[in-house]
Amino acid sequence: MARTDRRRVVVTGVGLVSPLGVGTAETWDALLEGRSGIGPITKFDTAEFESRIAGEVKGFEPERWVEKKEVKKSDLFIHFAVAASQMAVDDAGLAIDEGNADRVGVVIGSGIGGFPMIERTHSTLLERGPSRISPFFIPGVIVNLAAGQVSIRFGARGPNSAPATACTTGLHAVGDAFRLIAHGYADAMICGGAESAITPIAVGGFSVMRALSVRNDEPERASRPWDRDRDGFVIGEGAGILVLEELEAARRRGAPIYAEVVGYGMSGDAYHISAPHPEGRGAVSVMKNALADAGLEPEDVDYVNAHGTSTPLGDLAEVKAIHAVFGDHARRLAVSSTKSSTGHLLGAAGGLECGILALAVRHQVMPATINLDEPGEGCDLDFVPNEARPAEIDVALTNSFGFGGTNGALLLRRFS
C-alpha cells in the first residue's frame, strides 16, 4: 500500500554534467547509445601513476555558468553544481521569488569537496608563503558551498544543507530533500551531488588502495561492472541535480513530471572502513527500508540502477543483497550499472544516477551495462548487457553505497 500520511513528491527537473556530456540530453543520449565517457587523464601528468584513466567532463566552460571574475574564487565541483542546478531549474520551469523563496531549499553534497583548489593552494603556500593564499580559499573548497552558491544564485531561502557521505552523498541529498518536502518543511528542493576529484592526491590515494582499474590501454572498456575481468572502478567527475516539488504545487503551475519519489532508505554496514559486508548486509537493509518507506513489495520493482562500481567485492555483495531482498523476483528484475559508461563520480554518483533513474522511468528505457562480456562468478542477474532496453517501468530503485558502510536507496514510480 502507498503511504498516505505525507505529501506526495515528484521530480520536475533534471540537470546533468557528466563524462558523457555537459547537459541532460547529451548524457542521456550517450547512455542509450552505449557510449563510454572514460579516457586518459589530461588534468595532470600520470606517468608515475598506476591508474592513468578517468571520466573527465569534456568541454565544460565555467564562464558559461559562473561570472568570469568569480570562477577563480571557487572550486570546479561548485561550478559543476551551479551549472547542473541551472539546468534542473530551467528544466522544471521553477521561478523563485519573494512569494516562495522561503519554501524552496537546497541540499547539495560532495564526498570530497575542493581537492583541485586545495592542492593548488598548498603549492602556493610552499612556494610563495601564507600571505599569498587567496582569501576566497576556504569558501572556495568546503563541501557546503555548492549548496550555498546555488542558494545565493536563485535566492532559495528554505532548508539548506550539504551531506558528505562518501559515494552515497548525492542519493542522500535527494532522499533528504524528498523527506523535507514530504513532511512539510519545504515545497520545492534543488538537490543532488557534485564532485571534481581527478587530482594527483585523489588518484594516487585510490590507487594505493587498489581500488582503481588499471586497464589503461583500453580506457573506454575499463569500467565493467559484474564482468569476469573487472579490476576496479574508474574515477569520474561532474554533477547530478534534481528539482523535487510537492505534487499539488507542481500541478498548479503545470510543471513537467518525470516520476514520483515514493521511498527512501538509509542504513549502515557497521563492518569496515572501505569494504562492503561480504553478504551485502547493509545493502539488504537499505533496500528493505526504502521499500517499507514506500509501502511497496519487492515484486513491485521492475528495474534497479545499481551502485555497480566494477570492483570485485562490491559488485558481488550487491548481487547477493538483491537476491536476499527480492527472492525469486530477482530473476525477473532488470539490473544495470550506468557507471559502466560514466565511471564513478564519488559524491556526485548518487545525484547523477537519481537523475538517470528519473529519465528511465519517464522514457520507459533501461540503460545498459556496457563492457559486460562474461559475468563473473556469482554475478547471475539480468544486467541489461551492452544495449539499452525499452521496457515497462512502473517502479524503479537506485542504490548508493559509501566508504564507512553508509548506504542509501531511493524508489521512483511512474507518475499517474
From 79, 172, 277, 307, active-site residue: 307
Given this model, what pLDDT does residue 1 score? 45
300/325 Cα distance (integer angstroms): 12
From 172, 277, 323, 344, active-site residue: 344
Given this model, what pLDDT does residue 416 score? 85
256/90 Cα distance (integer angstroms): 11
Closest CA to 348 of 165, 205, 188, 219: 165
354 is catalytic: no
> Which domains, and CATH codes, for the chain?
10-252 (3.40.47.10), 265-413 (3.40.47.10)
User: Is 51 within 8 Å of 297 (Cβ atoms)?
Assistant: no
Alpha-carbon distances, residue 148 vs 101, 174, 241 (angstroms) = 14, 16, 14
Closest CA to 220 of 2, 85, 55: 55
307 is catalytic: yes
Cα 116 to chain centroid distance, Å, stands at 20
Contacts of 100 (CB under 8 A, 6+ apart): 187, 188
From 79, 167, 323, 354, active-site residue: 167
pTM equals 0.97
172 is catalytic: no
Paired with 195 in beta bridges are: 238
Q: pLDDT of the chain along its 416 residues, tens only?
A: 455 689 999 999 999 999 999 999 999 999 999 999 999 999 999 999 999 999 999 999 999 999 999 999 999 999 999 999 999 999 999 999 999 999 999 999 999 999 999 999 999 999 999 999 999 999 999 999 999 999 999 999 999 999 999 999 999 999 999 999 999 999 999 999 999 999 999 999 999 999 999 999 999 999 999 999 999 999 999 999 999 999 999 999 999 999 999 999 999 999 999 999 999 999 999 999 999 999 999 999 999 999 999 999 999 999 999 999 999 999 999 999 999 999 999 999 999 999 999 999 999 999 999 999 999 999 999 999 999 999 999 999 999 999 999 999 999 999 98
Question: 515514493: which residue's cell?
Answer: 262
188/170 Cα distance (integer angstroms): 17
396/278 Cα distance (integer angstroms): 25
